[in-house]
Amino acid sequence: MRPAAWIYWQAVDGAQWGLLTNSMEGSTVAPSEPEMGEKYWVMANYSRFIRPGSVFINADDKHSLAALDAAGHTLTIVTTNWDDHDEEFSYDLSRFDTSQARITAYRTSPADELTPVSNLTLTDAHLDSVLPKKSVTTFVIAEIRTPAP
């Protein structure tokens, strides 16, 4: 699959389906202004960081989606830990020149809304991180280069 856009069919809903949530007319609760729901923040992990022109590459892990923006020299990895316990993940970036790489990360979980993650290190072209239970974490690795053929 080669998606060209992020499309979500239900933007606003009363309970938990929409990106935005509110109490709707006809419910037992008075109507309210829409608020950003959990799905809004989860979707933001993908849509804010995987940019047009990026190409999906093999992440070698069923929990992750990786996209390379070769023109911008940026690799974005979005990983979901849907387990009920924290999980350690390791990303092998040895296919790339990481000598100038800069890493930023953002997390969405029951306690976080696209919150910046600190203390990330890249050691010997490996990025290791412990991801909290029920979370989505986006790693943005800037200034990464593919080696010349």
Q: Is residue 113, in this structure, part of any structural domain at all?
A: yes
Confirm if 75 and 96 have CB atoms less than 8 A apart.
Answer: yes
Question: Domain range for residue 39?
Answer: 9-47
Structurally, how many domains does the chain consist of? 2
d(CA 54, CA 39): 23
pLDDT in tens, the chain (149 residues): 566 676 776 776 666 666 777 766 555 666 667 777 788 899 999 999 998 889 999 888 899 999 999 788 999 999 999 999 999 999 999 999 999 999 999 999 999 999 999 988 889 999 999 999 999 999 999 999 886 55
Q: Specify whether 64 is located in the same domain as 36.
A: no
Q: Is residue 117 part of a domain?
A: yes
- Which residues in the chain belong to E strands, given as ranges? 12-13, 20-21, 35-36, 55-57, 64-69, 74-81, 87-92, 102-109, 112-117, 122-123, 126-131, 135-142
The Cβ of residue 40 has, within 10 Å, a number of other Cβ atoms equal to: 20
Question: Is 84 domain-assigned?
Answer: yes
CATH code (residue 63)? 2.60.40.1180
